[in-house]
Chain A
C-alpha cells in the first residue's frame, strides 16, 4: 500500500480545494431553494480565490516530488495552475452573466468548471503519463458535458457529440502511445521514460511511433492542424462561456502537459519531434489564419483564430530551448486575456433570445454601445499583435525565441500570416465602426441587443486591463514565465 504524508496532501491543496468545491456544488444544488442557487456561483468564486492564494503560496518553493514520483510541486505547474484558476474564475463570472440569458442557469455548470479545472491542474503538475491521462480525461469529460449544456439546441448537441467522439478517439490514440512507451521503456513515469529512451537506439521505430501518437493526442487537445477538425463546430455550437473556456483554459492546460511531457520524457527524441512539430506548426499557422478569413460566424472565426494562435505557441515548442518554452508559457498567458475578452463581448450580443454570433451582428456596434465596440477593438488589435497590447508582447517573445534558435525563416513565415490575420480581425473592427446599424428589419445588426451585467463588466475590465497593462509593462509576467520553466530539463 502506498503511504503518503500529510505534507503531500498540503502540496495538492489547491487541487483538493477545487475538487471538493466541485463535489459540494453538485451536492448542494438539489438541496438549495431556487432563489439561493446563486450562492453556488459565489461558492465557486470563493473557492477559486482560495485556491489561487494557496497555489501562489507555493510559488518559489523548491521542487518537491510527491506521491512516489507521480506528481510534482514545482514552479512550472504553479504557473499554469495560477493561470488556469484565474481563467476559471473569469469563466464563472462570464457564465453567471451568460447562463441566464441562455436559459440554462443550472448550477451544475459551476461544478463542471471546477471539476475540469481540477483535471487541468492535474495535467500540468503530474509527472506520470497515466496521471496526466487521468487529468486529461477528467477535464475532457467535464468539457463534453459543458459543450452540450444547451440541450434543447441542436447545434449544442451536435457540438457535444462531435467533441465527445473525436475527443475519445484522440484520448485512445494518446493512451496507445503511452502503452507503447511503457512497453519500450518499462515505465509511465516521465523521468523513467527519459532514462529508458537514453538506453535505446535513437531511431527505434516503436519509440518513434509512440512519440507520433503522443503528438497526435496532444495536437488534438491544442487544436493543431490536422487535428483541428472538431474546433470550429464545437466552438460554434457550445455556449459562449464554454467556448471561451475551451479556447483558453483547455488549450493552456494541454500545452502545459504537452511541454512537460516532451521536454522531460521525450527530451532524448528532440530532433525527431522538433521536425514533426515544425510541419504541424507551419500547417497550423497557414490553415488557421487563411480559413478564418472566410468565416461569417464570429465564434467560428475565433475558433480558427485560436487554431492559428496554437500555431504561434507551437513555434516555442519547435524551438524547444529556454527562450522557446518560456515563450509558450508567456504566449498562452497573454492569449488568455485577449481571447477571454473577445468571447465576453461576443456573449453580450443577444438576438431574439439567441446569441448574436454572426459577424454581421456587430454591424454598427460602435454607435449602439461604444464601450463594447472599443473593447472588442482592443481585443482584435491585440490578437493581431499590434503594440502596445499584450498580443504584441506574446508574439515578440515567440519571434525572439525563433530568431535566437536560427529559425528566422519560421519567424518570417509567422509574421506573414500574422499580416494575413490582420484582415479578419480588422474586418470585425470595420463592421463595428464603419458600417451603420441597420434600421429596417432584416438588415445587418438589426434587432441585436447588448446584454450588460455587473459580472460581464468585471470580466471585460479584467481582460482589458490585462491586455493593456501587460502590453505596456510586461516585466512581471515575463519574469514569471522565465522562472517557471527552470524546473524543466
Chain B
C-alpha cells in the first residue's frame, strides 16, 4: 500500500481539479435561468458528507443518492435513471 504522502503526490492534483470543477458546476448553475431541481437538492445535501470524519464517505454519498423505498413499482415510469430519486 502507498503511504499518505505517496497517494497525495499521485492524486492530489487530480482531486484538486475535480473539486474546482464541482465548484464551477455550482457557479454555472447559479448563473443560468431555471427553477429548483430535486437533483440539485440531493447534490447539495451530499456535499457535507465529504467533510465528515468517517472512513466510508463514498458509500454515504451513494446512499444519499439512493431510493430507500422498499416496495416494488407496478410499472417502470421510464427505462433510465436520473442519479437521484426524482419521483
- Report whether chain A binds chain B: no
